[in-house]
Copies of this chain bind each other. A is one copy, B any other.
Amino acid sequence: MSIPANKLSVVALGGVNEIGKNMYVVQYGDEIIVIDCGSKFPDESLLGIDLIVPDITYLLENRNKVKALVVTHGHEDHIGGIPYILKQLNMPVYGTRLTLGLIEGKLKEHGLLRDTKTHLIHSDSRISLGSMTLSFFSTNHSIPDCLGIAFHTPEGTIVHTGDFKFDLTPVNNQYADIHKMADLGKNGVLALLSESTNAERPGFTPSERRVGEHIEEAFAKATQKIFVSTFASNVHRLQQIIDATHKTDRKISLLGRSMVNVVNIATNLGYLNIPEGMLIDPAEVNDYEPHRIVVLCTGSQGEPMAALSRLAASSHRQIEVHRGDTVILAATPIPGNERSVARIVDNFYELGAKVIYGSGTVTGMHVSGHASQEELKLMLTLMKPKYFIPIHGEYRMLHQHRLLAEAVGVEKDNIFILKNGDVVEIQNQSARLARKIQTGNTLVDGLGIGDVGNVVLRDRKHLSEDGILIVVVTLSKAESKIISGPDIISRGFVYVRESEGLLEEVNRITTSEVQKLLLEEINQWSTYKQSIKESIGRFLFAKTKRRPMILPIIIQI
């Protein structure tokens, strides 16, 4: 499959009609540039699956055309798929310092560092890849060093915003390139791809500084140990926590692998400034008075294995939460995580801690990293695009973003809500939804990439609900009789001890089915299996209203 030369195409391989696994393609003629390569977590229906990454069949079929992977920022939904995808398709990776720092950590873990070519870029870089030139602009987001990308092509300019908000009082003075955005718009943007995460939210997202003020206030009030949990990647927030630690003359200790990892990378690259001697080892925490301690940890989303959960369950090896300590959840629970977070809050209250939790809007301990409606309108107004493609969001978010675009004057017919795989082609300044390429979810389970599919998942679902009942019968070919069994083995169905009568009956039914078929001189084993399955299934459903997986095994000697 190939796109005719001199056509400009835009495709989402992931990231529309979903939150997560962002991956977009800009193609001009025979030149493909990939933007981002994210992962997402499976929902509860994908039993046992660890991660989802985009299906890159299209890129594999066009592997010689792929010029580069350009990464907007270092969040998992933009970089989490990189090691899995690079195993299938090697391509040079472009990113800013922090972004590359985080990517390189992953590559190392997967043994890919040596074979991957990385290119450091910054907001003033200009890179030429065939007939396209890429320029960049800084944006504000909940991780430093974020870029928007402008693709200058012979057909016109395509802008991809990356993730953004407008923080007019950013921490560390990391201002967004608002003048560059205005210039892009002035010079003409053919198509804008803009993120839609908060398109349902009215108003203007508050500045990250607001969180710093609330943290300082809470630190000033605390009389004992302070535990703060937030997203490790929110380096600006980490800096504000460190600043508040400094102001209250405390030491800080880090818990959680990703927290230690990000703090190391960010400190080494100069994004995080920790005063000499402030950082202490978890083992040293108990050497200090409680009012001298801050513990900064992962697990703000209630992840059961993370540091915060272990602290709440009093199962951390080195550190305990005591009556009177303060626990701050500097994060709003992401939909789906509320119950796990609530369980942690319950536990901390039981330990006698003061807990600051709940929506960041109320506590002031969290602000979003994404643009609300007024900011999305501001971006659209700055860029004045002819065509608009809302990206990075579920359908209702894309829909609301469309309404915002219409409100600021984008032509209704010039807005494309895509499904993953939909190709928008632009030729002679005119865009249309042209066709669809293969894409979708690639499931990662342990070391397997894409080796678990619907059949396996359906079996897991079935097993998870009612368990399995295995029936083994050994038959003598010569004598046409049962010589061993039936043996009944059940897992995840019922307690064997409490259900002896039930399983004896299963045994009896199996024997009588097999003997009947032997008498009829049937020797297709599939008939035996089917017949055992059906008769036992009927019997068990009548008795228990459950439908375990029934697996007859017939051995003939």
Q: How far is the CB of A313 from chain B (nearest CB, A)?
A: 13
Given contacts A346-B394, A346-B396, A451-B499, contact A553 B470 (CB under 8 A): yes
Q: Which residues of B contact A48 (CB under 8 A)?
A: 464-467, 492, 546
Tell me if A's interface is mostly helix, strand, loop or mixed: mixed
Given contacts A336-B338, A499-B451, contact A472 B555 (CB under 8 A): yes
In the complex, the chain B residue whose C-beta lies closest to that of A341 is B335
A467 touches B456 (CB 8 A): yes
A412 touches B (CB below 8 Å): no
A274 touches B (CB below 8 Å): no
Stoichiometry (number of copies): 2
Q: How far is the CB of A529 from chain B (nearest CB, A)?
A: 12
Given contacts A463-B492, A464-B47, contact A447 B396 (CB under 8 A): no
A484 touches B (CB below 8 Å): yes
- A339-354: CB near B (< 8 Å → 1, else 0) gives 1001001110110000
Q: Which residues of B contact A43 (CB under 8 A)?
A: 339
Given contacts A464-B464, A491-B468, contact A17 B447 (CB under 8 A): no
Q: Which residues of B contact A414 (CB under 8 A)?
A: none
Q: Which residues of B contact A456 (CB under 8 A)?
A: 467, 492-495
B464 touches A553 (CB 8 A): no
Pick from B355, B395, B474: contact of A396, CB under 8 Å: B355
B336 touches A17 (CB 8 A): no
B448 touches A484 (CB 8 A): no
B551 touches A553 (CB 8 A): no
A487 touches B346 (CB 8 A): no
A413 touches B (CB below 8 Å): no
B484 touches A555 (CB 8 A): yes
Pick from B462, B489, B494, B546: contact of A553, CB under 8 Å: B489
Q: Which residues of B contact A305 (CB under 8 A)?
A: none
Q: A43-B339, A484-B557, A489-B551 are in contact. List 8 more A-B contacts (CB 8 A).
A: A342-B396, A350-B395, A459-B467, A468-B468, A470-B551, A474-B557, A485-B555, A555-B555
| A-to-B contact residues, CB < 8 Å | 17, 43-44, 47-48, 200, 335-336, 338-339, 342, 345-347, 349-350, 355, 358, 394-396, 399, 445-448, 451-453, 455-457, 459-468, 470, 472, 474, 483-485, 487, 489, 491-495, 498-499, 543-546, 549, 551, 553, 555-557
